[in-house]
Structure 1
Amino acid sequence: MLDTKLTDLPDIKAPDLTFEELTQVLTTLRPLQRYSFCVEAQKEQDVEKLNRGFVRMLYNELSLEEVVSLYSASILMFVLREGGQVRPWHHRLELLNGIFNYSDTLKPTMIHYATVETLNNIKLISAEREYCYMYLLEAIPHILVSSDTGKMIALCLLRSVLADYSNSTIILNIYRNLWEVWEMIQLISQDTILKEWSLRKTYILVKTFSLIMASTALCSSNQGLKTAGYRGFDLPSGSSEFRIWFKSLKDRLDEKYKELKSKDGLMLVRFIEHNIIGHLKETANESMSDTGTEAVAETEKDTTA
């Protein structure tokens, strides 16, 4: 058993995003600072004035720089807490869905630019990279279902997180396929995860992979992206390797967190079991079932011939 410490188990959640932290990022978004409502709302700390102004912008013709700045602003507005209180759900989703539905551009260069700018802006929130990624993970499930453009940007953001954790170099921020994502994960040592990573960082890793897998190989709503020329929405033939790796990680984490008597840690173990291993088992069973059906059909042909 690897040595573990209770200090390895901070609360998984990131701290509530404050208005001051929101303003810290907004002041760097020059395309938005040209609007008087944005400057005034920041000074007045008026969240609703900001939200109304950003939503009104969507009814006008916006430059690419303005659209991409609003991507970042909408994510921050979505995760913002007012005095520890979550803003009304429809207010949070109105801007997020609106901006990611504003344009249906799926050009690789535009997706790359939007991904790089959005990720860099979100990283301005905190020096703690894990906090920034947790904020992203709160918004990304909604971005994934907002539009094809939103889905591709979200996949690229998730891919960038895994590239960071695996020290992989990305030249063009475009999702390619699940196997490429898997190759990044293989570069991460499980020993390092167990000995050095916080519970939060481990959660970010498995949550990121599960979101990518669920949105690509396990999702039937990718026809728009396929029509636009994107590929990689099928489960690779060697996906059994995914299950073996994650089962090994799950078993080792289970041992670690049972020893530490960590409820959060054991919840993470169950998350891996249900959201990654379970889906891979089902897919494998379906493949075996399909193979068996084909074999029976071939046998029947031979018998009747």
Structure 2
Amino acid sequence: MGEFELISHYFAAAPCAQGGEGVALGIGDDCALLDLPAGEQLAISTDTLVAGVHFPDACDPLLLGQRALAVAVSDLAAMGATAIAFTLALTLPDVGRNWLAGFAEGLGRMAGRCAISLIGGDTTRGPLSITVTVFGRVPTGQALRRSGAQPGDLLCVGGDLGNAAGALPLVLGQRSAPADVAQPLLDHYWAPLPQLRLGEQLRGLASAALDISDGLLADCGHIAKASGVALQVDQAQVPVSAALLALLGRDAALHAALTGGDDYVLAFTAPQAALASLVQPYHVIGRVLPGKGVVLRDEHGQDITPQQRGYQHFGQTV
């Protein structure tokens, strides 16, 4: 199968490639064209997933298609942007029809859940890697940023943490668990749903925000540095799911929630008064203080900040 036949059969004909709001021209020309309403800015982000680094070499292509798009769209949520479109650059060691059909189906499922359209991309031969570039729109001047947190703000997250880290040994076949424990964790790992509605609601409310990909403590460090403040995380307030507790026990579950990464849940700071108008669920887990860095405190107020705070490419952990 040639490149153009591959694109036409598996991607250009997919429902998610038939255009949508904001897409003036999709697949088929040298460039796609996007329309932006007056008074809005374009938000753009790119994510690359590499076999053996970001996902196991052998995995279900449908699940991989879901995950590849979800982790990229999560960056739009972190900026408070409304999703418009995405491109896909796919490098394949060979052309397997069953693999492509499964991957395209998973990609389309997540595109439907996020209301985002496929508008182009590229295919090449080589070691398996997936690069997704997402495009969103946000009212001018209202994009959420990592800078802006102020002393006195509360530190919040948009949901349970640590589920993906708990799922990883299940994904790798290193351990097993009953279905009622394993499935919620695996669902979060393979199909994390970007918190687009929460991001949109945080426009004008949050002082700073990002999505948690490398671990809560590590990513909170980005807000602290960009904002020139300190963030205090209260361990007792960090939300963990019943499934994660059942799999790991409380201590290991909290460690996964604090440092595990791959959550794709929003972390944000906001004045307490601003949170009263927030409709989407959230958890207050700490506060913003004068100073710098991130500190983790136990229920007695003692500093228990671990050395390992999350994942970092090339350096491995931070």
Q: TM-score, length-normalised on structure 2?
A: 0.30
Q: Please identify which structure carries the higher strand content.
A: 2
The higher-RCO structure (CA 8 Å, 6+ apart) is 2
Q: Which of the two has higher C-alpha Rg? A: 1
